Amino acid sequence: MIRILFSSAIIMHGLIHIMGMVKEWGFGLSSQLNSKKLFVISPKLAGFLWLLVCMVLLLSAVLLLVRKDWYWIPLIFSITISQFLIITYWHDAKWGSVLNIILLILIAFAAASFFFNRMARKEAAHAVSNSNVEGISISSDMLQELPPVVQRWITNTQMVGNEFGSIVRLVQTGRMKTEPGGQGMSFDAEQTTTLDPPAFVWNARIHSFVDIAGRDKFENGQGNMLIKAASLIPIADAHGKEIDQGSMLRFMAEMIWYPQAAFNDYLDWEEIDRNHARVTMSYGDITASGVYTFNDDGFPIAFEAPRYREVKGKYSLETWSIRISEYRYFNGIPIGAHSEVTWRLKEGDFTWLILDIQTIEYSED
């Protein structure tokens, strides 16, 4: 809705510039621009500039409507020329400056979003460039290295005997809360994950009164969560041992989307019983561990681990639990597409994240 309103304002502003063209080129029509110009400029050139601004503003509105995140670049050009014309016709057009100032403020947020997304994409490309991009071929002999309950899972994915890329790209949608009882916010995100070495970059747009940009990163055994309101105003830039541990647990939990990671040397599996297995990950200076629960058909339905939770700058070790459901086929592999993430707190369970996988792609580049 905000995008449509913003586009409508740009279109109206563009059409208003037609008055300037009418003033200079005539066409037998009347115009509201009747006072003397402050600067000497030929009617032919002035009419062209009024028309040019109109066309570029309309182009910017179209680019915004079709979700091109660089729409603000031609918008800056058009507003610059528009303001020059407004100053030239100041007595009649001065109030157009108010709309230009409003548009410039909105452009600042649009540019911030553009550069935030570019940063995340560069980080994802950097992770891919540092990874081993060779495909992973899964053989029946490799299964013997895993506990029976995990073997059953990998077998059920129908991955044995096939090769899969070690670069994982996925798209998510969902809802999240920042505190118990808080208002849920929808989000959409894209993520790039590498398996050797383990890394991911998650770039999310959280939809609120003012959209929030979130980037979660895990690379070289270290995590970092960066959050900015309107992609511009810093809310959080979290890092440290607690964040490293949490990012590592996230990587392990998300193996439900890329089971080919289960064979990597940085993981150690231990069967607890027919329906449970503990996985421990050691990378860099951090070690973390969690427990997978499998149903009787051999598919993961839950992951649980102690994880650090931050509240007002203080960390406490709490139980972090994920419920997995709605298995669907992606690239011929059955994947748990729906997840609900819950903090099991003393005062009660707090389900803060619900997400759905929309697409998954495995590649070697």
The answer to the question of residue 127 being in a domain is no
Q: How far is CA 287 from the centre of its chain?
A: 27
- Look over the chain and give the mean of its residue pLDDT values, rounded to a whole number: 89
In the chain, the number of structural domains is 2
The answer to the question of residue 280 being in a domain is yes
CA distance 111 to 327: 38
The answer to the question of residue 128 being in a domain is no
Q: What is the pLDDT of residue 364?
A: 78
The answer to the question of residue 239 being in a domain is yes
3-state class (DSSP) for residue 333: strand
> Are residues 100 and 141 part of one domain?
no
Q: What is the pLDDT of residue 343?
A: 97
The answer to the question of residue 289 being in a domain is yes
> Are residues 161 and 50 part of one domain?
no
CA distance 200 to 128: 9
Q: pLDDT tens-digit profile of 4-17?
A: 777 888 888 888 88
Nearest Cα residue to 163 out of 331, 329, 346: 331
> Are residues 149 and 75 part of one domain?
no
> Are residues 166 and 91 part of one domain?
no
Q: pLDDT tens-digit profile of 301-351?
A: 999 999 999 988 899 999 999 999 999 999 889 999 999 999 999 999 999
Query: Nearest 5°: phi and psi at 278?
Result: -95, 135
**Going along the chain, which residue ranges are E strands?**
136-137, 163-164, 167-176, 185-195, 198-207, 212-219, 222-229, 233-238, 267-273, 276-283, 286-294, 300-311, 314-330, 333-345, 348-363
Q: What does the angle CA 39 – CA 31 – CA 99 come to, to the nearest 5 degrees?
A: 70
Q: What is the pLDDT of residue 102?
A: 85
Q: What is the pLDDT of residue 9?
A: 81
Nearest Cα residue to 253 out of 212, 296, 216, 297: 216
> Are residues 276 and 221 part of one domain?
yes
Q: pLDDT tens-digit profile of 271-296?
A: 999 999 999 999 988 999 999 999 99
27-36, 121-130, 147-156, 213-222: least confident range: 27-36
pLDDT grade, residue 164 (50/70/90)? confident
pLDDT grade, residue 27 (50/70/90)? low
Q: Which two tokens stand for residue 296?
A: 């009787």
Is residue 42 pLDDT above 60, yes or no?
Answer: yes
> Are residues 150 and 31 part of one domain?
no
Print the domain residue range for 262. Answer: 133-363
User: Quick one: average pLDDT of 169-181?
Assistant: 93
Q: What does the angle CA 149 – CA 220 – CA 311 come to, to the nearest 5 degrees?
A: 80
Q: What is the pTM of this model?
A: 0.84
The answer to the question of residue 116 being in a domain is no
The answer to the question of residue 126 being in a domain is no
Between 209 and 356, the more confident residue is 356
> Are residues 142 and 59 part of one domain?
no
CATH of the domain at 208: 2.50.20.10
Between 164 and 199, the more confident residue is 199
Q: What is the pLDDT of residue 227?
A: 96
pLDDT grade, residue 34 (50/70/90)? low
> Are residues 206 and 288 part of one domain?
yes
The answer to the question of residue 156 being in a domain is yes
Q: What is the pLDDT of residue 198?
A: 96
Is residue 248 pLDDT above 80, yes or no?
Answer: yes
> Are residues 154 and 61 part of one domain?
no
